[in-house]
Amino acid sequence: MSESAPVLTMSGISKRFGTTRALEDVSLILYPGEVHAVVGENGAGKSTLIKIMTGIYSADRGSMTLAGQKVSVSNSAEAQLLGIAAIYQEPLIFPDLSVAENIFIGHQDRGRIVNWDAMNDEAALLLAKLDLDIDPQILAASLTVASQQGVEIAKAISLDVRVLIMDEPTASLSAHEVNRLFQQVRSLRESGVAILFIGHRLEEVFEIADRITVLRDGRHISTTPTNEVTEEVLIQEMVGRDVSDFFIRTEHPIGERVLKVRSLGRQGVFEDVSFEVGEGEILGFAGLVGAGRTDVALALFGVAPADTGSIEVDGVSVRLNSPRDALALGIAYLSEDRRRLGLSVPQSVTANVTMATLKRYTSSIGLLDSIAERDDARGLVEKLRILTPSLSTPVAQLSGGNQQKTMLAKWLNVNPRILILDEPTRGIDVGAKADVHQFIDDLARSGIAIVLISSDLPEVLAMSDRVVAMREGQIRGIFGRDQATQERVMTAAVGTA
């Protein structure tokens, strides 16, 4: 295979966002007719790499060579013309158009008048080639996610792509659907397309990939043919750091069980999830993106209630149907999506810190006690060492790490008894990360029960008293502090036999 000429060569690609280094001198070669998997933890730089290939970002340094010619891509339409297409976890379809139209809408070469019959026939042929049983004339909105992805693959084929990027295409598919997808990928490979496959589940990667590249912290670690590498080696390369690089949690007693979850489940998302958390305990949740950890958290916070099982707080069974219910019981949830769900960034630091506790500052006639608000905000800003010019500065003007701390301050201001932290250190710099770890430890020592969801495995291991490993919506193991090694937890989370 490496005999043939490479179709796409990325060499020496670097990209920074402010002070965050997303990619540093990464090189990657794609040959026609190969499935090349790229693996790595969250933040390793996979998405940034894809976005540079499809023209959404431009690289700070480095070059891209397509079939021997140096190219620069400034948007996804240009990428498509060059024969580079991408398929995402959430298919980008036109719900109101038919399947056939979804395939052909971007084509420039089919004349000004649509020939419906020819288009439908051609679409049917394409879909049949992929062994997809989809009627080209029905609306795309009525398809399942898996079928929509099939349509996107058909679209890519119709555009004669040379490079097809698949960004975690299996994340929301069932095992059966994954099998079908892989059949389609294989037939694409046979027709000479180079496929860049981003995956989280290692077993899938081993099943489909010819070569595997590992990225870590924005750097290229290794590229190896699949049959020359073992999962253990890959996991070590992905993780790379030692637990000792982290803040180590101090020993301390664990109090009463505050939260008990029994056989919790939500149709098609997660099932039979049971665990307990005690006062002052940090319960870590390890697993891959899409393993259902966030969904369990959303059920506990009342955003997307569970439909089976029970939740007990202080031994009393509770129903959680909205965040208000959860907050009333002292359950707070720090979202993984700071911009969309966590902060109101145009507003001041104070307004964000008091957002979830407005009632406390509201007088009987509905006015806010702004002095008390500022006092509380000031206290938390000092305690969490949030760097801000003033309390009335819009949060948008703070750095990522300080925004993250502001979000933490918002939830600390609630005085929660149970605090769920979803990726609390994602995308923030090293200094802020260490600070956040310190606060989490302080909080636990003050008696708060903490659920820590993180895809950063060393972080989970360093911070947690016990670690829950989740995979595909189920708990695959709960490890005590002394049993929880990187290899054991990762194995449970990625699911090797």
Partner 1 sequence: MSDWLSRHRWEAVLLVVLVVTIIGNAALSPFYLGFGNFINLFWLSIEKIIVVVAMAFVIINGEIDLSVASVMGFSAAVMASMQVSGDIPFLLAVVFGILAGALAGLVQGLLIARIGLPSLVVTLAGLIGFRGAARVILEDRSIGDFPEWFDRLGQQPLLGPIPLALIIFFAILAVAWVVLERGSFGRKVYIIGNSADVARYSGIGVSGVKLRLFIVSGLTAGLAGVLFAARLGSVRGSLAEFFELDIITMVLLGGVSIFGGSGTMFGVVLAVFTVLNIRNGLGLANVDGIMQTGVVGLLLLGSVLVPNLIERRRTRLPAPEP
Partner 2 sequence: MKVSPATGMNRGSGRLRRMKPERVKELTLIGIISLSVVTFGFLIENYLSGRFFNRVITSVVIVGILAAGQALVIITRNIDLSVGSATGVAAYLTGDFLAANTSTGPLVAAVIAILVGSTLGAFNGLLVAYGRIPAIIVTLGTLALFRTMLSLYSGGQNITADTLPDWVLQFNQVTVVSFGDFDIRLVSLVAVLTGLGLHWALARLRWGRRLYAIGSNPEAAKQAGLPEQRLVFWAFVGSGAFAGLAGFMFMARIGTISATAGAGLELESVAAAVVGGVSIFGGAGTILGALLGASLIKTLELSLVRLPQVSEFWRDAVLGILILVGVLIDLALQRRLSRRPIAAARSDSGSSPPVTVGEHSRASEGAPDE
Select from 257, 202, 200, 268 the least CA-distant residue to 46.
200
78 touching partner 2, by CB under 8 A: yes
Partner interacting with residue 135 (select from partner 1, partner 2, none; CB below 5-8 Å by kind): partner 2
Of 2, 72, 74, 75, the one binding partner 2 by CB under 8 A: 75
Tell me, what DSSP letter sits at residue 356? G
Q: 165 or 258: whose CB is closer to partner 2? A: 165
Residue nearer to partner 2 on the CB measure, 270 or 411:
270
Q: What angle do CA 441, 356, 43 make, to 5 degrees?
A: 50
Task: At 135, list the tokens.
Answer: 């009627």
Residue 469 makes contact with partner 2 by CB under 8 A: no
Residue of 1, 5, 77, 125 that binds partner 2 (CB under 8 A) = 77
Smaller CB distance to partner 1: residue 112 or 359? 359
Distance from C-alpha of 211 to C-alpha of 201, rounded to nearest angstrom: 15
- Least distance from C-beta 315 to partner 1, angstroms? 24
Half-sphere exposure of 423 (CA within 13 A, CB side): 17
**Closest to 256 in 3D by CA, of 325, 315, 297:** 315
Distance CA 319, CA 283 (A): 22
**Residue from 60, 62, 67, 97 binding partner 2 (CB under 8 A):** 97
Task: Give residues 102-121 in contact with partner 2 (rule: CB under 8 A).
Answer: 105-106, 110-114, 116
Min separation Cβ 344 and partner 1, Å: 4
**Taking the chain, what is the end-to-end CA distance rounded to the nearest angstrom?**
30
Closest separation in Å from C-beta 381 to partner 2: 21
Residue 388 Cβ, how far from partner 2 at the closest point, in Å?
Answer: 17
Q: Is 96 in the site for partner 2 (CB under 8 A)?
A: yes
Please tell me whether residue 217 binds partner 2 under the rule CB under 8 A.
no
CA distance 98 to 290: 29
Cβ neighbours of residue 345 closer than 8 Å, sequence gap 6 or more = 339, 394, 395, 396, 403
Looking at 46-54, 189-197, 354-362, 484-492, which segment touches partner 2 (CB under 8 A)? 46-54
- Euclidean distance between CA atoms 201 and 457, whole angstroms: 15
d(CA 41, CA 424): 15
Residue 423 binds which one of partner 2, partner 1, none, with CB within 5 to 8 A depending on kind? none
Residue 59 contacts residue 14 (beta carbons within 8 Å): yes
The partner in contact with residue 351, picked from partner 2, partner 1, none with C-beta cut-offs of 5 to 8 angstroms by kind, is partner 1
Taking alpha carbons only, the member of 437, 479, 439, 443 closest to residue 462 is 437
Interface ranges with partner 2 (CB under 8 A): 17-18, 20, 22, 42-48, 75-78, 80-81, 90, 92-98, 101, 105-106, 110-114, 116, 132-135, 137-139, 141-147, 172, 176, 180, 266, 268-269, 298, 304, 339, 396, 400, 426-427
